[in-house]
Amino acid sequence: MSEATHNHSADQKELISFRIGQQEFCVDIMAVREIRGWTPATPLPQTPAFVRGVINLRGAVLPIVDLAARLGLGTVEPTARHVIIVVRIGEQMVGLLVDAVCDILTVTEAMLQPTPDVACDQVKSFVKGIMAIEGRMISLITLDRVLPSLEAEAA
């Protein structure tokens, strides 16, 4: 954990960064409800491969999205060392399966660079922009499209 700077001002926001493979991503901390360890999920039929299934989150049924698979980074069999970041997307709660949580970052809008054109479509639709922080490249994830949409399933 590196040290986060805490001088708040209007355009600053806090992000939680996490690691998938060798890449680092982050999401807005306001969307994050909790972070918990991996527990085996119940697989769902008729579901894209990146949905690992559902787990019991204190009585609620929580779908788990394998973010690595969602971003096209391949799947790994989760172990007890994997982490689930529970986020709120609209009215729904979703668990994001990631390798590890790294840091809490305080950033400003100005630090966000547009996603370069090299990225493939799949990445581009989830990555809102990238940031260079302490020599690391961190991609900001948009959560809206993380869950499979109904239209996509119908097609």
Partner 1 sequence: MDPLAAIRDTFFQECEEQLAELESGLLAMEAGDRDSETINAVFRAVHSVKGGAGAFGLEALVRFSHVFETTLDDLRSGKLEVEDAIIKTMLRAADLLADHVRAARDGGGVDEGRSQAVAEELTALAPGGHGPDDASEEEEDLMGGMVFQPLSVDIGPLEPLADLPPLEFAPLELGEEPPLVDDEVLEGLKTWTIRFKPKRALYANANEASLLLRELDRLGLTTVTLDLEALPPLGQFDPEEPYLAWEVALETEADEAAIRDVFEFVEGDCDLHVQRPAQAAPAPAAAASDILPELPPPAPQEIDVAALIARAQEAAQILDPVAASAPAPAAARAGPPKAVEPPAAAGAPPAATIRVDLERVDRLINLVGELVINQAMLAQRIDGAGLARANDIAMGLDDLEQLTREIQDSVMAIRAQPVKSVFQRMPRLVREVAAMTGKRVRLVTDGEGTEVDKTVIERLTDPITHMIRNAIDHGLESPEARAAAGKPEEGTVKLTALHRGGRIVIEVKDDGQGINRPRVRQLAVDKGLIAAEAVLTDEEIDNLIFMPGFSTASSVSDISGRGVGMDVVKRSIQALGGRIAISSTPGSGSTFTLSLPLTLAVLDGMVVSVCGQTLVAPLSGIIETLQPKENEVRRLGPNATLIAIRETYVPLIDIGAVLGYRTEPVDPTAGVALLVESENGARAALLVDAIQGQRQVVIKSLESNYRHIVGIAAATILGDGRVALILDVDAVVSRRGEPAPALAAAG
Residue 128 to residue 140: CA distance in whole angstroms: 6
**Total number of residues that touch partner 1 (CB under 8 A):** 28
Residue 66 to residue 38: CA distance in whole angstroms: 11
> Under 8 Å CB-to-CB from 3, ≥6 apart: which residues?
none
Single out the residue of 43, 72, 74, 116 in contact with partner 1 (rule: CB under 8 A): 43
Q: Provide the minimum distance between the beta carbon of 73 and partner 1 in the complex, in angstroms, as a whole number.
A: 18
Contact between 151 and partner 1 (CB under 8 A)? no
Q: Can you read off the two tokens belonging to residue 103?
A: 């840091």
Q: Provide the minimum distance between the beta carbon of 147 and partner 1 in the complex, in angstroms, as a whole number.
A: 7
**Residue of 31, 32, 25, 12 whose CA lies nearest to 115:** 25
CB of 86 within 8 A of CB of 6?
Answer: no
Single out the residue of 61, 100, 132, 137 in contact with partner 1 (rule: CB under 8 A): 61
Closer to partner 1 by CB, 41 or 102: give it. Answer: 41
Phi-psi category of residue 134: left, alpha or beta, with phi > 0 → left and psi -120 to 50 → alpha: left
Instruction: Find the part of the chain contacting partner 1 (CB under 8 A) among 3-11, 28-36, 57-65, 114-122.
Output: 57-65
Closer to partner 1 by CB, 31 or 104: give it. Answer: 31
Q: Can you read off the two tokens belonging to residue 97?
A: 């399966």
Contact between 78 and partner 1 (CB under 8 A)? no
Contact between 37 and partner 1 (CB under 8 A)? no
Instruction: Find the part of the chain contacting partner 1 (CB under 8 A) among 3-11, 49-57, 76-84, 98-106.
Output: 49-57
